[in-house]
Structure 1
Amino acid sequence: MIGRSRGTVQAENADAAVDAIVQGPHGPIPVRRYTPPAGTAPLEAALVGTAPIVWVHGGAFVKGDLDLPETHEVALALAGAGFTVITVDYRLTAVPGLSRFGRATRGTHYPVPVDDVVAVVRAVQAEAGDGVILGGASAGACLSAGAVLRLGSDAAAALRGVFFAYGIFHASLPERSREVRSRLRGRRKFTHTPLLLNAVNRVYAGSRSALADPHAFPGGHPLLGFPPALLIDAESDSMRASGEQFARELDEARVSVEYHVLPGTAHAFLNRPGEAGFAAGIRLIVDWARRL
């Protein structure tokens, strides 16, 4: 169950953004609950009370929190569309030699962040009683996909659907197509190389055996039992290679999957609410979730 409130956050597009705690296997997990605003438009009002959304931010497994735009602004937008949203402040992976980086605790690696996500999904499901929609961005997409497999045979009952934005799902980045490589621009042309992305994955995994664990990196492993899935990738993004491959793997596993590449976007477009890609991504998520 979700514990008592730690306070409220002002939110224009939600009645309240309430901070709370979920008890997990590694200790308390801060969460924030957003409820649809009073006076929601009739179309959205009819949806209030449908499956809540658990939303998991990205940040290369080592950074991010409940106030990150990719966390807070996405939750506000989804609450404004009529959904209750719970965001997750999962434990961050520690970077070797940079113990003061972010809020990570030394020694935190897989499976701790996945365990946190699973604990929140189960707590929300216990309250909702009618299924949960789970979503994640970038590293949060990887954690969310791993949580689906960790839930195992309970996943179909606990999850109405899952959605992923510009996620990485494979321990080793699949080969990027010539078209993807040709579209890379700016600093991420150098920071999102296969070499560096694979290094980030190794830091998160914490061990060689974890790199092969399907609950750490579901890509390339059996995906039977996955609920309906939505994947949205950025056009100019190395991680698109993983998203494209994962969408194919879901399809081959006979999972109902919808896949989109947003033209003119770069990685982390949901962290930039002023850009057109943010609004386009939210529209895709809302339209898909309403059809579940």
Structure 2
Amino acid sequence: MSRSLEALDPQIRRFIEDVCREGARLRGGRALDWPERRLIAAQARTPWREGGPRMLATRDYRLPSAHGEFGLRVLYPQVMEAPPSPALVYLHGGGWCMFGLDTHDRLLREYADASRRVVVAIDYSLAPEHPYPAALDQVVIALDWLKENGAEAGIDTRHIALGGDSAGANLAVAAALRLRQAGQLARISALVLNYGAWTPVLSAVARQSLGTSEDMLSGAEMDEFWAAYLGPESERTVTPLSAPLLAELHDLPPALLLWGDRDVLAEQNAAMAQRLQQAGVQVSTHVYPGAPHSFIEAMSVSDQARDAIARGAEWVRRHTPVFSSQGLPA
């Protein structure tokens, strides 16, 4: 067993070993294009997203954008405290290049069940075919759509939390910054940010100690993801909206940041938490020992992954109150 695997939490290591082994088997040593990489990444994770809570209902929508149509899924848990329901808008990770609603289906259902809130997932267009700012533009379009149509979907649009993992956490903060620019930040009540990607810059220490080819996410992979997301004009597209660690972060809503200490992005997540606190944002953090990047995907076997989901759900409940039909807290 490699030194990197030995350092992992044993429950999470089981997930990592299986996904990596199955991914290698499906690749068969071939060089793959992005569509093939997406397919294999999804197939390798199929057993790990099975099971979990059943939803009362699920609705799918298609929304237009200048970058093409994109999907939006609304998940209704079996137990909601009172309609209309506050919502968690969740953005999947995958380096802006992979994953989607199906790869994150169980996580979305877990959040809906644990928070007793509607969850809205955005299936934004992927890089490199759709580089920055396509995904960010679509997230903002989806938030605008919710503002206009959320009530018809049973959503209390006064109380929206915004969250995501990895690239999705990046997009969540970037979307909040766009809303702040438009004077509409009051629409977002809280942020749930799981092991976000905040800057293209990785220190030599992070690369050498946590971002090797034996780790769940390597420094070289992050370089590739950032290059695909930023596009060929990266000198122009590295901005506070594409790399939020560069942004002025004042006035953002309360933020929960969760990451593992075995993640190549751990260093920049600690930096992001510090920047938010310095900007006067209410921040809560938790660092999971022995947890690598993407550890929440191990929710079917990992106590730490389940704890992270529970913390995120509790943060959403705390900051998105439910109101009765008389307008009083339920």
TM-score range, shorter chain: 0.7 to 0.9
Among all aligned residue pairs of Structure 1 and Structure 2, give the percentage whose two residues are the same amino acid: 25
Name which of 157, 169, 189 aligns with 2:186.
Answer: 157
Q: CA deviation at 1:211?
A: 4.2
**Cα deviation, residue 27, structure 1:** 2.9
Secondary structure of 2:86 counterpart: coil
Instruction: Please give the alpha-carbon distance, in whole angstroms, between the structure 2 residues aligned to 1:85 and 1:165.
Output: 16
Equivalent pairs counted in the alignment come to 259
Q: Is the 8 A contact 1:176 1:238 kept in 2?
A: no
**Aligned twin of 1:5:** none
Equivalent residue number for residue 29 of structure 2 = none
Out of 98, 101, 105, the residue aligned to residue 72 of structure 1 is 105
Does the aligned pair in 2 maintain the 1:13–1:76 contact within 8 Å?
Answer: yes
Which range is displaced more, 113-122 or 250-259? 113-122
**Contact 2:110–2:309 (Cα < 8 Å) also in 1:** yes
Query: SS of 2:299's equivalent?
Result: coil
Q: Measure how far apart 1:272 and its partner are.
A: 2.1
Confirm or deny that 1:57 pairs with 2:99: no
Give the letter for the 2:124 counterpart.
Answer: Y
Identify unmatched segments of 5+ residues in structure 2: 1-50, 151-155, 320-330
The one of 274, 279, 289 equivalent to 1:253 is 279
SS at match of 2:244: coil
Q: How far apart, CA to CA, are the structure 1 residues paired with 2:273 and 2:203?
A: 13
CA RMSD for the aligned pairs? 2.4
The answer on whether the counterparts of 2:93 and 2:165 sit within 8 Å (CA) in structure 1 is yes
Q: By percentage of residues, which structure has more helix?
A: 2
Q: Distance in 2 between matches of 1:225 and 1:174?
A: 29
Instruction: Give per-residue Cα distances to partners, 1:43-96, cap 9 Å, x unaligned.
Output: xx436644211111111111101110xx211111122121100111110002xx
CA contact (8 A) 1:185 1:236 kept: no
TM-score normalised over the length of structure 2: 0.72
Which of the numbers 39, 50, 70 marks the counterpart of 1:29?
Answer: 70
TM-score, length of structure 1 as denominator length: 0.81
Q: Which structure would you say has the larger Rg?
A: 2
Distance 1:77 1:111, change over 3 A: same
Kindly provide the amino acid, as one letter, of the partner of residue 93 in structure 1.
A
Deviation at 1:26, TM superposition (A): 2.4
- Give the deviation of 1:276 after TM superposition: 2.0
> Counterparts of 1:172-187 in structure 2 under 5 Å?
172-174=201-203, 176=205, 187=214
Q: 1:264 aligns with which of 290, 301, 322?
A: 290
CA distance in 2, matches of 1:48, 1:235: 39
